[in-house]
Amino acid sequence: MNRKTRARWTELLPVQAALAAKLGLNDSRIADRLGITPRTLAKWKSERPVLKQALELARANVDKGNREKFDQYLFQRLSLELQSLWRKLMFCKDHKSAREKAELALSGKKELLRQQLFVHAMIYTNFNASEAGRIVNVPARTHRDWKKNSPQFFDLLAEIEEHKRDFFEGALTDLVAAGDSAATVFANRTYNRNRGYGEKPMPDFAKQQSRTDSVVPIDELNLPIETKRQLLDAIRAFKARP
């Protein structure tokens, strides 16, 4: 069963969605980060006003530069050769002969380099494979073949995911430092879950202690004599340990 079909609503979900919206993600990407389908997100938005309101408030106050910041963040992690090629592709992407110019810029380059640029174009176009393919001149059939047969292509996608996690973690830290309440709640309920900020109630240690301290006389247990003797011997041996 697909992971997204098992998603359940939680009180933390509106906070997670709002935080993603603050980072500039659209509904499709937010649904992906929450582990649900876009249809489920749309359904929850219509049925649960708190989710819709959280997204609207987050987007009303979102830093319009977040998307540009993320693109720049990833661009700086390209090699100098890739940065130079990407600038050329950006310069000619709206030209009527964009594909021909892209192919001229990439002529003679290794497949790995084209894959790296394609993955970067995917991020740039908000994971629009058709538009990314147009920028880097990668036909849909080539993209499908990479997904099926190229381990290095999967490694590139995994690397991008790590960069995204690093960026989001840094953005979360910035939001918390700025006093953003949604980000603060999210950070405490995830990073500080073991300190009592999680969704599950903390165990009642007082009750646990009272149960631990209560004494049950062995003589009153409905056990055979030999079993009682073995229990007593075990208790004595335990107490006698250094």
Q: What are phi and psi of 168, to 5 degrees?
A: -65, -40
Q: 10 Å Cβ neighbour count for 38? A: 15
Which residue matches tokens 């970067």?
120
pLDDT band at 55 (very low <50, low <70, confident <90, very high): confident
Domain boundaries, the chain: 3-63, 68-161, 213-239
What amino acid is encoded at 72 in this protein? Q
Full-model pTM: 0.46
Which residue matches tokens 């174009």?
121
As a whole number, mean pLDDT of residues 160-188 equals: 74
pLDDT at res. 3: 44
DSSP string, 99-137: HHHHHHHHTT--HHHHHHHHHHHHHHTTS-HHHHHHHHT
Burial of residue 240 (CB within 10 Å: 0-12, 13-18, 19+) is: exposed
pLDDT band at 40 (very low <50, low <70, confident <90, very high): very high
CB 50 within 8 A of CB 84: no
Inform me whether the pLDDT recorded for 178 exceeds 60: yes
Maximum CA pair distance of the chain?
95
DSSP string, 125-194: TTS-HHHHHHHHT--HHHHHHHHHH-HHHHHHHHHHHHHHHHHHHHHHHHHHHTT-HHHHHHHHHHTTGG
CB 133 within 8 A of CB 102: no
Range in 57-71, 109-123, 129-143 with the lowest mean pLDDT: 57-71
Inform me whether the pLDDT recorded for 152 exceeds 80: yes
What are the distances in angstroms from CA 133 to CA 29, 53, 138, 158, 161?
19, 36, 4, 19, 20
As a whole number, mean pLDDT of residues 74-95 equals: 83
As a whole number, mean pLDDT of residues 99-128 equals: 83
Most confident of the ranges 6-20, 65-79, 214-228:
6-20
Instruction: Identify the helix (H) or strand (E) that includes residue 27.
Output: helix 27-34
Inform me whether the pLDDT recorded for 203 exceeds 60: no
Inform me whether the pLDDT recorded for 225 exceeds 80: no
pLDDT at res. 49: 86
pLDDT at res. 26: 82
Angle at alpha carbon of residue 19, lines to 178 and 90, rounded to 5°:
95
pLDDT band at 215 (very low <50, low <70, confident <90, very high): low
Q: What is the mean pLDDT of the chain?
A: 75
Q: How large is the angle between the packed helices 27-34 and 13-22, nearest 10 degrees?
A: 140
pLDDT at res. 222: 67
List, in order, residues 6 or more apart from 158 with CB less than 8 Å away.
Answer: none
